[in-house]
Amino acid sequence: MQWLAQREHSRVELRRKLLPHAVAEDELAAASGAASAEPAPAARVEAVLDWLEAHGCLSLERFVESRVHARSARFGNLRIRHELKQHQVALPPEAAHALKESELQRARAVRERKFAQVPATATERARQARFLAGRGFSPDVIARALRTTVHADDEADGADSSLG
């Protein structure tokens, strides 16, 4: 319960954390000579996970929502999908659509936090593109983010000069 109080966990993640404790409990009982009529450690862990889900303590939807919320400001769709896949969870269509719609803005924001200036040379452009790729942004979004950044700055300069 302490792990769930700290943050949302997937069923796979919680199983991975609980199984060593159940195995150690069995080994301790076997070492003390007590014959155990209890089911295997994996079965006990599954029963606990089922109970947690039935009582609303463990929720797949809450896990996906919290993971997407925590990662979306720093990572691209590819990275978020990969992390969810590691937890054996699929991204719901509505969340996937929302992430897709905001990916370009998120890529720009991540790039601007890391780099003070727009890429002036091919080397700098490649460096920034590698950084964004490492964060899980798609090649198309990376190209648009680097290209759009230059155009957005040009448009902002033009808009400022037209005001004065």
Give residues with Cβ within 8 angstroms of 33, minimum separation 6: none
The Cα 116–Cα 135 span in angstroms is 18
- If one counts the domains in the chain, the total is 1
Q: Which two tokens stand for residue 100?
A: 């897709």
List, for residues 7-56, the tens digit of each pLDDT value: 888 888 888 888 888 888 777 777 777 655 677 888 888 888 888 888 88
14 in any annotated domain: yes
Q: How confident is the model at residue 116 (pLDDT cuts 50, 70, 90)?
A: confident
This prediction's pTM: 0.73
Q: Domain residues for 41?
A: 1-58
pLDDT score for 153? 44
**Chain segment 70-109, per-residue pLDDT in tens:** 999 999 999 999 999 999 988 889 999 999 999 999 999 9
107 within 8 A of 142, measured Cβ to Cβ: yes
